[in-house]
């Protein structure tokens, strides 16, 4: 059977997954913007114009062709807008076999700097984490109602070409904010794409954490990038004195080290960028 991926909210992460699928796949990619249609077509995607909450005829037509589906659309105040749109239609999607929901590690909440993995019960402490966990439940219920396998892909901080500490340094927007003991987990977008593609290809189910092997303080990442690229390094700023938006400050309210017990053993994926140093070196070598 022809394999057709419907990628809803197709962006940076989803495009990496589409590239990693390789030969033998068609990719239908939704976008809100007619201006993106030509760009999607140039990289081999079949554009579908759809905005959550608006007429869904194009989305339903694409769903009818799909054997696999991923959604990158975040929840809104009423839940997951994509699950909401598909709920009346999912039973009619006779070809659909697998759903991958791109969630976030915020569902785990704060671990006081300790480790979390796929066996850790979610305990979101933020509104965004609670919304993500509720959305995961919506997708799992939707899959169960239609007899479709569902994987929940919990993603750490994404970086990659065009979206890394190098870009922040060059724009002058990089900061070295120091909060003692604080670490974040992250994932290079290429490894993210490979994991999502592997999960789709194997029609894997359940939660997977998408993260590299070395949670690290954010100020260390900026300093390493500056040294590697020969760029001026910002001075460290104590967290208490930093000028941060409410959203940015909220990220520092959760401190955890994320790992995956499933990605390697079950999906067979070995990270090409197991830590931020390897990832940044690869970006710089590629001209990023």
Whether the CB-CB separation of 134 and 74 falls below 8 Å is answered with no
Positions of E strands within the chain? 3-8, 25-31, 46-49, 68-71, 98-104, 115-116, 149-155, 157-159, 176-178, 186-188, 206-210, 236-238, 257-258
Percent of the chain with pLDDT over 90: 92
Banded model confidence at residue 191, pLDDT cuts 50, 70, 90: very high
- 35 in Cβ contact with 45 (< 8 Å): no
Beta carbons within 10 angstroms of residue 201's beta carbon:
17
Domain 3-158+185-212 class in CATH: alpha beta
Dihedral sign, CA of 37, 286, 186, 162? Answer: negative
> Tokens in use for 107?
């569902």
Is 134 a residue whose pLDDT tops 80?
yes
Mean pLDDT of 85-95: 91
User: Does the pLDDT of residue 151 top 70, yes or no?
Assistant: yes
Give residue limits of the domains in the chain. Answer: 3-158+185-212
How confident is the model over 114-140, as a mean pLDDT? 97
Length, in residues, of the chain: 288
| This prediction's pTM | 0.96
Q: Cβ atoms within 10 A of the Cβ of 256, count?
A: 22
Mean pLDDT of 152-163: 98
- pLDDT at residue 1, rounded to an integer: 67
pLDDT of the residue at 248:
87
> What's the whole-number mean pLDDT along residues 131-139?
98
pLDDT at 2 over 90: no
Q: Given this model, what pLDDT does residue 194 score? A: 98
| pLDDT recorded at residue 164 | 98
End-to-end CA distance of the chain: 38
Distant-in-sequence contacts of 77-80, Cβ < 8 A, 24+ apart: 79/131, 79/134, 79/135, 79/138, 80/134, 80/135, 80/138, 80/139
What integer pLDDT is reported at residue 77 of this predicted model? 93
Q: What is the pLDDT of residues 7-18, one digit of tens each?
A: 999 999 999 999
Q: Would you state the structure tokens that stand for residue 223, as one six-digit string?
A: 């300093």
Pure H helices in 27-118? 37-42, 57-65, 81-86
pLDDT-based confidence at residue 22 (cuts at 50, 70, 90): confident
Local confidence band at 101 (pLDDT 50, 70, 90 cut-offs): very high
CA angle 119, 123, 128 (to 5 degrees): 120
So what's the pLDDT on residue 65?
96
**Confidence grade of residue 288 (pLDDT, cut at 50, 70, 90):** confident
Q: Which tops the pLDDT comparison, 52 or 151?
A: 151
| Token pair belonging to 230 | 């020969």
Indicate whether 92 pLDDT > 70. yes
How high does pLDDT run on average in the chain? Answer: 96
In the chain, pLDDT over 70 holds for what percent of residues?
A: 100
Query: Tens of pLDDT along 203-237?
Result: 999 999 999 999 999 999 999 999 999 999 999 99
């Amino acid at each position: 059977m022809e394999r057709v991926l419907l990628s809803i909210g197709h962006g940076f992460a989803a495009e990496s997954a589409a590239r990693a699928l390789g030969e033998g796949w068609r990719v239908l990619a939704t976008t809100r913007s007619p201006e993106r249609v030509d760009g999607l077509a140039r990289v081999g995607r079949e554009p579908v114009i759809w905005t959550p909450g608006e007429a869904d005829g194009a989305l339903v037509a694409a769903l009818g062709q799909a054997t696999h589906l991923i959604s990158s659309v975040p929840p809104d105040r009423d839940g997951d807008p994509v699950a909401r749109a598909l709920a009346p239609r999912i039973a009619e999607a006779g070809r659909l076999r697998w759903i991958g929901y791109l969630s976030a590690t915020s569902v785990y909440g704060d671990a006081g700097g300790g480790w979390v993995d796929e066996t850790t019960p979610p305990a979101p402490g933020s509104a965004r984490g609670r919304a993500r966990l509720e959305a995961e439940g919506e997708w799992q219920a939707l899959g169960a109602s239609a007899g479709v396998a569902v994987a929940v892909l919990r993603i750490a901080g994404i970086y990659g070409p065009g979206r890394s500490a190098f870009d922040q340094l060059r724009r002058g927007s990089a900061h070295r904010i120091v909060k003692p003991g604080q670490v974040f987990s992250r994932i290079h977008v290429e490894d993210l794409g490979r994991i999502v593609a592997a999960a789709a290809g194997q029609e894997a189910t359940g939660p997977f954490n998408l993260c590299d092997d070395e949670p690290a303080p954010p100020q260390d990442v900026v300093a390493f990038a500056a040294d590697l690229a020969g760029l001026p390094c910002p001075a460290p700023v104590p967290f208490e004195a930093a000028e941060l938006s409410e959203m940015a400050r909220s990220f520092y309210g959760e401190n955890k080290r994320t790992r995956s017990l499933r990605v390697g053993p079950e999906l067979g994926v070995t990270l090409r960028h197991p830590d931020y140093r390897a990832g940044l070196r690869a970006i710089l070598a590629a001209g990023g």
